[in-house]
Amino acid sequence: MAVGIFDSGLGGLTVLDAVAKRLPDLPLVYLGDSANAPYGVRTPDDIYNLTTGATQRLFDAGCDLVILACNTASAAALRRMQEGWVPEGKRVLGVFVPLIEALTERQWGDNSPPREVKTKHVALFATPATVSSRAFQRELAFRAIGVDVEAQACGGVVDAIEEGDMILAEALVNSHVDALKRKMPEPDAAVLGCTHYPLMAQAFQKALGPDVKVFSQAELVAESLADYLERRPDMVGPGTASAFLTTGDPAQVSSRATQFLRRQITFDAA
């Protein structure tokens, strides 16, 4: 009865942690493609091929449902996967939709026409690949009208977090927020469009100021998954054991993951 969670590296552990707290009895199989991270600077075809390979590995591990806890993969590969790759009886879900539903104050599965919402000016912080895909704007347009989105590609932040250099990561956050504010001086809300970024949420909030509502994904995705599985309990796969898998060096990734979540995490080779 396992659910798979995939990320290009360690960022998806923020989602796994939130899901584990929300659904403590649900076995979770996490796969981080650390050998090929970061995805944010790769081509769409490269991201698609890496993501489908990783997702198949999670299917093989007994997961019928896989969460792409990676905004870059969700942006560049998810739609293509859903349209022509996902096998019958399996599901792959992304992390954009729960975030946009919260931003637009819509209930899960509300398929009514797009409408005006209170939030008018949104700052999107994401990887270069997510920004260039415009997937966030496309999904938002299905649900809301009249919302101005200014996207800022945050080069270097994921690498700094993966290396554990939080001083550099904070400096980069401040630089990217400054660049965004030159284009949109007074955003109403900010979206942290990468699952690594919750670790820098306080830095983003401080740089943006107290009047900007910052939306982060982990808890929103966990709540959405709980709701989904309540309606679709058949999508919990046959796997019974939790596991952490990596394409990178297990010892090195385990050490970084333990620092990342501040609890002991042991990865095995994927």
Name the residues annotated as catalytic: 70, 194
Q: How far lies 8's CA from each of 71, 171, 242, 245, 264, in Å?
A: 10, 23, 19, 12, 20
Q: At what angle do helices 13-22 and 250-261 cross, to 10 degrees?
A: 60
Residue 134: CA count within 13 A, CB half-sphere: 3
Cβ atoms of 154 and 127 closer than 8 Å: yes
Tokens describing residue 142: 């299905």
Contacts of 199 (CB under 8 A, 6+ apart): 14, 161, 166, 169, 260
